[in-house]
Every structure is written in C-alpha cells, then in structure tokens.
Structure 1
Amino acid sequence: MTLRDVQLTPRPGGSPELRGVLGVPSAAVHGGGPWPGVVVVHEAFGVDDVMRRQVERLAEAGYLALMPDLFTAGGARKCLTATFRALAAGHGRAFEDVESARAQLVALAECTGRIGVIGFCMGGAFALQLASPSRPGGPYAASSVNYGRLPGDDAELDALLAGACPVVASYGGRDASLKGAADRLDRGLQHAGVPHDVREYPSAGHSFLNDAPNGPRLLRPVMQRILGVGPEPEAAADAWGRIEAFFGEHLREGEGRGPDA
C-alpha cells in the first residue's frame, strides 16, 4: 500500500485549507481496483503516527482510506474547542471537513463509490453522528464507532439512530469515561432496527485499538490510571477482525460504482 499527504478541496463552512492522509491499497495484493472508501476520523490528539497507522491498516485491508486533518486551521490547541462544539451541535466546520474527505473519495476513479466511516475516541463520536442520514454526507454505507461518546439522553440517541446505516462499535470495559455506553448503544440500535455489532472488552480501556501510547507524555500516567488508556493487543485484534468483516459485508456489496459515484 502507499500512504501520502494530500490537500483536500474545501467546502463552504469548512476549513479554508484542508490537509489529509490518503492510504491506497496495493494493486499486487488487492487488484487494480476500484476499491470501497473509508473516511477515517482521528482522535482528539490529531493526526499523529498512531492515527496514520490506522489509515495504513485500512489500506492494507483493501480500502481507500482518507483521514482529514480536522485541526488543519491551527492545530489541536486552537481547533479542539471548535471541533467539540461542532460535534455537540451535529453540524459545523468539522462536519464539512469530513464531508470534503467523503466527496474526494467518491470522486476518485479508484473508488467504487461505496463509503464507510471509522472514528476513534473523539472521532468515534463523529462516526456515530455520521451514521445518521441527517448529517452532512449521510448516510454512509457503514460506520465503525470506537469508544465514541453517545448523546446525553435516550431521546436524542433514538433520534440520531433513526434511519442510520449499519454500525459496528467497540468499547473498553476499563474505560471509566464510557461506563454503560456499549449496552446503551446496543439497545438503541436494536430499537431502531439498525444492523449492528456492538461489543465491550472487559480487559480494555480507552484507545485500546491504538498500537502504541499517544498523547502528551506527562498526561499518559493519569490517562492510564483513570481511563485505562492504551493498547490492548488481544482485544484490538478481535475488534479489527469484526470491523473488517462488517465492512466487508456492507462496503463490498456489488463491488461496482455506488449510487453516489
């Protein structure tokens, strides 16, 4: 596979300049394409080496994977508050930037036009929001929600999940910040009649799908103690297997150019 930094075409209301990271499958392994696409939404720490390797992993699995840098306009320190504000509102610059990535994938000749979304931590909450047909670019063909925060009350969650695309979700049982989230999401998806696969891993904490610790070094001991933050290889291997199987079922349907192409 190849991994390269790219410039994305900005949208009205989005970042005036927008960078991203694109992973392209190996033609020797996965044929010459076209391939389904996956928009990758990064953690609150931004586009670091750990997140770039998540893009690599998806490309190695046979997906065109594009991660927009939601902090292009000024880095995490300047953009984080605005990004979380957009997440709470369900619209705003961050959603337009993600939609730029989705539209760019659809426009690629190497893409089938079927697009999924995957997110981690903050990005997991975006992936859940983007499963809804009411969000910019929605609905996707499938969404992978990884330790993403849920809306505050059940009525809001029910409204978000009405008509949602299929969802595969993974949470850590040691993640004190998201106690009960997996069960609550599972119940909401069942109530909405949405195809889904939700699992909580008792041995895992927050960010367990990462292959290495990340974030500010001084904060890592605190994050580990409170949230159980950090890699959990056994849980991660199982979760990635579920994600790839779920995406294989919902993104490779037909293998031709999708309806949005």
Structure 2
Amino acid sequence: MSEVTIPAAESRLRGYLAVPDGEGPWPGVVVVHDVLGMTADLRRITDRFAASGYLAIAPSLYDGPGPKIKCVINTARSHFTGRGLSYGNLLAAREFLTADSRCTGRVGLAGFCMGAGFCLQLAPGGLFDAAAPSYAILPNDVDQLEQSCPVVGSFGARVPIVASDTAEKLEAVLTRGEVPHDVKKYPRAGHSFMNEHPLPAPIRLVAGIAGIAYSAPEAEDAWQRILAFFADHLASTGSDRDALDRI
C-alpha cells in the first residue's frame, strides 16, 4: 500500500494505491471518496478491495489548481452536473491502473455518497466494466443509465440526504435497459452506513439519530454483494491484457 502520484490534465493527483498479495495480473478498482476526501476510512476501503484481489486506487479529487476550498466546491458541483475536472481525474486514475502491467485491463468503479454519484455519471460511458455506487444521488438524466455498465447499488432506508425512492428508481431504469444489476435497500440502515469514520462518542450518537452512521451488519452484507458482483463482471477473459496492449 503506497501513496502515488497520478498524472492528470491540469494537475498531478495524490492517490492511494493498494496492491493484492501474490502475483497479478488483477482487475482494477477506482475508489471514489465521499465529501470528506482522502481519509483513513477511504484507505481502509481501498485496502479491502486489494485484500479481495483487486489492484485498487483512490484518487484525491480535491487536488487541483487553485485554493483547496475552490477544489472542494468545484468537485461537489461536478458531482451534480456531470461535468468538470473531476471526471478527467477519475479517468486519469483508471488509465493509471490500465497502464500497470499488474492490471488485467478490466476496471470497476466504487464510490460512496458523493463518490457514488460520480459512479452513476460515469457508468454509461463504456470505460468501466462494473460500478458499485453506495447511497448515490441519481444523475439528472437518469435515462442514460439504460446504457450503463453492470451496477451493484446499496442504499439505506433511513436516509436524510438521498431521496427515499432512489433505489427503486435506479432498479427501474436498469431493468428497463436490461443492465445486469443488484440493487438493495437496507431498512434499518441510514446514510453512510459503509463508512467507518472515527468520531467522538457524542457525535456518533447524534449521527445515528440523524440517520448518518456506520452500521456493521448492513455494511458487511453490502461488501459481500459488491465483491460477488465484481467477481462476476471484472473477471479476466484471458484476452484483456492482449487487447489492452494493442490500444
């Protein structure tokens, strides 16, 4: 596990690269952070993908030209609009993986909260082989998801941020487009139930009441679904590396 620098169009991004044990090649996963950015929790999640056999990288989308607060605002805006530097940065992270001889060339995308929104914006682009958005806000043009890559989505029912029918709408559009998918809503979970941010006890209590808290049983179930889905859709076909070399 190491800090790396990802070449990008307008900046050089910090990234956290997690490498599986043993010898590759492995499929890749780009892990997209929530609004808190590059945190210990993001590294934990990236490490877990590596422990499960994926060459995983988490780029810091808040790196960029100008003051840090401007980068944060621009990233959040991009999440809603589907445009902006953040998308180029995420594709740069993908290219970083596919340029690595340890990668099969098949790459998934996993994101949480804001990061999940980026996943759904990029899923129809044909560049990722599977996407795992967790508690995402749907893009404005939701019909584009009829052309999405396979999607495994996870939502909490006790969510103060995401619309209560988001999981159902996502399920409907993916079904209409005959996109392979696994969408699940957890009745007792709230927002950010897979993110284990270290918080003081009083703040954890408030977060739980507000429906924004880690919940281990639902998080573990979601992890098992994501890893099983990625195993099905990111498995090497045997020709991926050869095809990548010809690009």
Between 70-79 and 197-206, the greater mean CA deviation after superposition: 70-79
Identical residues among aligned pairs (%):
41
8 Å contact kept, 2:104–2:236: no
Tell me the residue number matched to 1:172: 156
How far apart, in 2, do the equivalents of 1:80 and 1:224 lie?
Answer: 26
Report 1:67-216 matches (<5 A): 67-73=58-64, 77-133=69-125, 138-152=126-140, 156-158=141-143, 160-178=144-162, 179-213=164-198
8 Å contact kept, 1:208–1:231: yes
8 Å contact kept, 2:146–2:176: no
How far apart, in 2, do the equivalents of 1:17 and 1:197 lie?
Answer: 35
Cα deviation, residue 139, structure 1 = 3.0
How far apart, in 2, do the equivalents of 1:116 and 1:47 lie?
Answer: 19
Tell me the residue number matched to 1:231: 214
The reply on whether 1:66 has 2:57 as its aligned counterpart is yes
Cα deviation, residue 77, structure 1 = 3.1
Tell me the residue number matched to 2:12: 17
Give the 3 Å change call, closer, same or farther, for CA 17–139 of structure 1 in structure 2.
closer
Give the 3 Å change call, closer, same or farther, for CA 40–174 of structure 1 in structure 2.
same
Q: Which amino acid aligns with 1:252?
A: A
Q: 3-state DSSP class of the match of 1:203?
A: strand
Provide Cα deviations, 1:184-219, integer angstroms capped at 9, x if missing partner.
1101111111110000001111111123446x9997
8 Å contact kept, 1:117–1:143: yes
TM-score under structure 2 normalisation?
A: 0.91
TM-score under structure 1 normalisation?
A: 0.86
Q: Which amino acid aligns with 1:98?
A: L
Provide Cα deviations, 1:150-173, integer angstroms capped at 9, x if missing partner.
124xxx201x21321000000001
Mark the runs of 5 or more structure 2 residues left unpaired by the alignment: none
8 Å contact kept, 1:8–1:19: yes
How far apart, in 2, do the equivalents of 1:219 and 1:233 lie?
Answer: 18
How far apart, in 1, do the equivalents of 2:117 and 2:202 lie?
Answer: 25
The reply on whether 1:4 has 2:2 as its aligned counterpart is yes
Tell me the residue number matched to 1:35: 26
How far apart, in 2, do the equivalents of 1:82 and 1:250 lie?
Answer: 32
How far apart, in 2, do the equivalents of 1:91 and 1:217 lie?
Answer: 38
The reply on whether 1:52 has 2:35 as its aligned counterpart is no
Give the 3 Å change call, closer, same or farther, for CA 162–260 of structure 1 in structure 2.
farther
Aligned residues: 242
Q: 3-state DSSP class of the match of 2:124?
A: coil
Mark the runs of 5 or more structure 1 residues left unpaired by the alignment: none
- Select the residue among 249, 252, 257 that pairs with 2:232: 249
How far apart, in 2, do the equivalents of 1:199 and 1:157 lie?
Answer: 18
Q: 3-state DSSP class of the match of 1:139?
A: coil
